Structures are given as structure tokens and as C-alpha cells.
């Protein structure tokens, strides 16, 4: 459904019944010359686009990929893929017991799995991933999806932060290659560890139909009333400092006959969001959807008129990060309203594809939204400019950096 139509139908996966999980197998036999890359991540894989894109690109370029993730009680079933994947079930669902259990299970899984190269995604899988790589004397690549020690809350937990810092300080000099999601985060790490990192931004595929997912049939549909401007906020982790509470409150100052907000995702603040919606009687203006597999998320995004990315610059991880949703919006042809974060502002300004809030005051957010839609020519220009961005900033181009990293590691291993 195109964003310009007056009646929008969007996929609602809330009642979707997923089939029993099966593991994808490569579509062609493996030759003995293929390097086997074992990829580890603590996510449940269903909504982790970055890990999938890396695995898909390596698979398409001759690597034998085996991805290992985590399966919690409420995990979605991932879309089937062209490479093999597995998920380790865990009993503990959160915090320290969860990390310890997952790394324990991961260690023994890796210990009895053949690999030529390991790829660990984020610091929380590196205890097991690095340990086995050292035992096996195989190279390990580290993809740090964020400035880990800058995560919200760690500054208030000095003991936990010290543990993660000790692990990071041990890991960084010993892995064979490191890359991260933005130039700013790479520069922070370079300053701390005096090591060059490659920047690999989490960009969507330019052609979403050839992204390696095998699309399943759509779930149930629901309709947004005709004539509404659809505002979209999405996120796999809708937690504190994302600005979503203020966004919800801003709907109080918008015309219910003109605007409708859709929030897609899950996170710690969602109970508070539901409470705000109920107390302010905003049920008719706001739709909440759970996390959905990426193919469905893409269809939801394409129906929106404006995407919102309102992270607060309260810590270095958010201040210098590049939220996935920014590029998801823009690749779907949806202009963006964002907070002024270093890397986000650079992209939006360079390509002229949106504008910014100057504070998180709900009245201010509402006024900016009204101003955006009061100038349809400007909105049309932003939308047209997303085509240029999509052509230049896409995974097909960005993946070349990943391939260079692995070729270098592979070459050093041979030598």
C-alpha cells in the first residue's frame, strides 16, 4: 500500500500463529573449500536485521554460514533463510542469570561445532565466542553494534560496568578485526584502545525483494480510518530515553481526525505507554503492535507518512549511534522527524529528508508535526530525496566493507 493513498491497511500480527521452528538449510551443497563462519548473537534472530544482512552477504559470497542465537519464551519464529541457523533455548529470561546461562550454553555449542572463523555480535556473546576461538586457535571478528559501555543505566551500576569494561579491555586487543555502526562510535573505541575500526552502517537492502528472506503469508489486517496522516515509531527495544512517552503525550495536541500514531515493537516502557494511552483516552489515535518479522515491518513502514526517531542524547551510545529505524523509514520512502543526534543529523541534513525537534516537550513535538504537514511541497521534496539516499546508502554497497574484513582475516589465517 503506498503512503499516498487515503485508506491504509496494515498487517497486524498480534494473533498470528507461527509454525513450529525449523532451521534453514543452504540451497546448495557445501564444498570442502568453503570457509565456515559461525556467527553468534544473543538476540532471537527474528527482528535482528543487521546480523541477517551480514550472514546473507557472506553466504552469497561463498562462505558457509551457521548463525546461533537465543530463544526465549516470547520469541517470534524467524523467517526462513538461505543459510543455516539455530537458537539456544534459555530458562532465565533477563539480566545476569540470562547472560550467564546463554554464554554457558553457547560455549558448549561452539566447542562441538566446526568453524574456520567466528563472528561475535556485541560484547554479551564474547565470553563464549572468544574462549572457543582461543581454544580452537581460530580467528574471531567482533561486530559491536553500539558503544556498549554507554548503554543506558550502566553509569548507575558501577560494579556491572566495571565487569563489562574488563571484558571489553581484554577482548579488543585480541580479536582479529573489529567494526561498528557509526564513525563516531568507531572514533570513541579508537581513542580508548588505539585500534582502527571499520564503520559498517546498518543499512537496508536497496532491493528488499532480494534480501534472502523467504516471505511468509501476511497476518490479519486492520484499517486506519481514511484521511489520517500515519505517524510511525518502530523499535525492537522501546526502552527509556527513546522519546516515545513524550510522543504519545503529543497526540493530545493533534487533531484526532487528521493523525494516527502506530508504535511497533516491545520494550521496558510499553506498560507505561499503555497506561498513558488509557489515562489520556488516546486509544482512537494510537495503535500498538508487537514486534514483527522484518518483511511485515517493511509493509507497515511503507504505509506511513512520517517516521519518528526521538532518542535522547543522555548517554554516548545514543548520542553517537545510528538507529536502525532511521534507514528503515527512509528506504521505504518515508520522511523523518528526529532528535538532533550527531550521526542522525548528518544523514538527514546531507540528503534533506526530514527535520528535527528542538526539545522533547510534547506540545513542541505536536507543533512540529503540524508544521510538517502544513507544507505539502516540502514533504514531497523530502520524500523524493529518499530515492537518492536509497541509491547511495544501501546494504549492497555497505556489505563490501564486511567482505573486505573477512577476506583480510582469511588471508592472514592462510599466511
Q: What is the pLDDT of residues 148-162, one digit of tens each?
A: 888 877 777 889 899
Predicted confidence (pLDDT) per residue in 175-227, tens digit: 999 999 999 999 999 999 999 999 999 999 988 665 665 444 444 345 688 88
Global pTM? 0.84
SS3 assignment, position 395: helix
Residue-level pLDDT at 30: 41
Does residue 129 sit within a domain? Answer: yes
275 and 399 part of one domain: no
Asked if residue 19 belongs to a domain, the reply is: no
Domains of the chain: total: 2
Pair 165, 283 in one domain: no
Residue 382 lies in a domain: no
**Domain-located, residue 157:** yes
Angle of the 376-392 helix axis to the 362-373 helix axis, nearest 10? 90
Cell for 238?
A: 522501546
- What pLDDT is recorded for position 18? 32
Q: Is residue 59 a part of any domain in this protein? A: yes
Mean pLDDT of 316-339: 94
Report if residue 293 sits inside a domain.
yes
pLDDT higher than 70, residue 311: yes
* Per-residue pLDDT at 212: 61
pLDDT at 151: 80
Same domain, 370 and 400: no
Query: 50 in the Ramachandran plot: left (φ > 0), alpha (ψ -120 to 50) or beta?
Result: alpha
Same domain, 260 and 236: yes
Write out the residue range of the structural domain in which residue 318 sits.
8-13+217-374
Model pLDDT for residues 13-63, shown as the tens digit of each residue: 333 333 334 444 444 444 457 899 999 999 999 888 899 999 999 999 999
Q: Are residue 182 and residue 126 in the same domain, yes or no? A: yes
188 lies in the same domain as 55: yes
**Does residue 116 share a domain with residue 91?**
yes
How would residue 413 be classed by pLDDT, with cut points 50, 70 and 90?
Answer: low
Same domain? For 201 and 71 the reply is yes
Please report the beta strands in 302-385, taking only residues with DSSP state E, as ranges in sequence order: 306-309, 336-338, 354-356
Is residue 357 located within the same domain as residue 407? no
CATH number at residue 307: 3.40.50.2000
Residue 22: inside a domain: no
Residue 127 pLDDT greater than 80, yes or no: yes
- pLDDT at residue 238 tops 50: yes
Are 204 and 224 contained in the same domain? no
CA distances from 158 to 153, 168, 189, 304, 316 (A): 10, 15, 20, 41, 16
CA 248, 254, 256, 261 dihedral sign is negative
To the nearest 10°, report the CA torsion of 232, 235, 241, 246.
20
* Domain membership flag for residue 357: yes
Q: Residue 141: exposed, middle, or buried by beta-carbon count in 10 A (0-12, 13-18, 19+)?
A: buried
Measure the CA–CA gap between 385 and 181, rounded to whole angstroms: 23
Pair (67, 93) in one structural domain: yes
Query: CA 232 to CA 43: how far, in whole Å?
Result: 23
| Mean pLDDT value across the chain | 88
pLDDT at residue 209 in the model: 65
If asked whether residues 333 and 410 sit together in one domain, one would say: no
Q: Which of 164-178, 216-230, 286-300 is predicted with the least confidence, judged by mean pLDDT?
A: 216-230
pLDDT recorded at residue 237: 80
Amino acid at each position: 500500500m503506498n503512503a499516498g493513498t487515503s485508506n491504509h491497511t496494515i498487517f497486524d500480527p498480534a494473533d498470528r500463529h507461527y509454525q513450529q521452528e525449523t532451521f534453514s538449510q543452504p540451497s546448495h551443497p557445501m564444498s570442502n573449500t568453503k570457509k565456515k563462519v559461525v556467527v553468534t548473537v544473543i538476540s532471537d534472530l527474528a527482528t535482528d536485521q543487521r546480523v541477517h544482512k551480514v550472514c546473507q552477504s557472506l553466504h552469497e559470497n561463498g562462505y558457509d554460514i551457521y548463525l546461533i542465537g537465543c530463544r526465549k519464551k516470547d520469541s517470534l519464529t524467524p523467517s526462513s533463510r538461505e543459510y543455516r541457523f539455530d537458537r539456544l533455548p534459555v530458562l532465565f529470561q533477563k539480566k545476569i542469570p540470562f547472560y550467564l546461562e546463554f554464554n554457558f550454553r553457547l560455549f558448549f555449542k561452539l566447542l562441538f561445532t566446526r568453524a574456520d572463523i567466528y563472528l561475535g555480535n556485541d560484547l554479551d556473546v564474547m565470553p563464549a565466542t572468544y574462549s572457543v576461538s582461543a581454544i580452537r586457535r581460530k580467528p574471531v571478528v567482533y561486530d559491536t553494534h553500539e558503544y556498549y559501555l554507554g548503554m543506558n543505566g550502566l553509569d548507575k551500576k558501577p560494579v556491572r560496568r566495571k565487569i563489562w569494561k574488563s571484558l571489553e579491555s581484554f577482548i579488543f586487543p585480541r580479536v582479529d578485526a573489529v567494526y561498528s555502526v557509526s564513525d563516531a562510535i568507531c572514533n570513541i573505541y579508537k581513542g580508548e584502545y588505539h585500534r582502527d575500526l571499520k564503520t559498517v552502517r546498518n543499512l537496508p537492502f536497496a532491493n528488499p525483494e532480494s534480501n534472502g528472506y523467504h516471505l511468509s503469508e501476511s497476518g490479519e489486517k486492520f484499517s486506519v480510518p481514511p484521511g489520517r496522516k500515519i505517524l510511525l515509531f518502530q523499535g525492537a527495544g522501546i526502552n527509556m530515553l527513546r522519546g516515545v512517552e513524550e510522543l504519545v503525550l503529543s497526540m493530545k495536541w493533534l487533531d484526532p481526525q487528521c493523525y494516527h500514531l502506530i508504535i511497533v515493537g516491545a520494550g521496558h516502557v510499553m506498560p507505561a505507554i499503555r497506561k498513558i494511552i488509557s489515562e489520556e483516552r488516546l486509544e482512537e489515535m494510537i495503535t500498538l503492535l508487537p514486534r514483527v518479522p522484518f518483511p511485515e515491518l517493511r509493509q507497515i513502514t511503507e504505509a506511513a507518512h512520517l517516521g519518528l526517531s526521538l532518542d535522547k542524547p543522555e548517554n554516548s551510545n545514543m548520542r553517537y549511534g545510528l538507529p536502525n529505524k532511521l534507514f528503515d523509514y527512509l528506504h521505504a520512502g518515508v520522511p523523518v522527524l528526529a532528535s538532533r543526534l550527531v550521526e542522525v543529523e548528518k544523514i538527514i541534513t546531507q540528503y534533506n529528508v526530514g527535520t528535527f525537534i528542538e526539545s522533547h516537550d510534547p506540545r513542541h513535538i505536536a507543533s512540529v508535526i503540524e508544521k510538517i504537514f502544513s507544507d505539502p511541497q516540502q514533504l514531497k521534496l523530502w520524500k523524493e530525496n529518499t530515492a537518492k539516499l536509497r541509491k547511495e546508502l544501501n546494504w549492497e554497497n555497505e556489505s563490501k566493507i564486511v567482505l573486505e574484513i573477512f577476506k583480510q582475516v582469511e588471508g592472514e589465517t592462510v599466511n
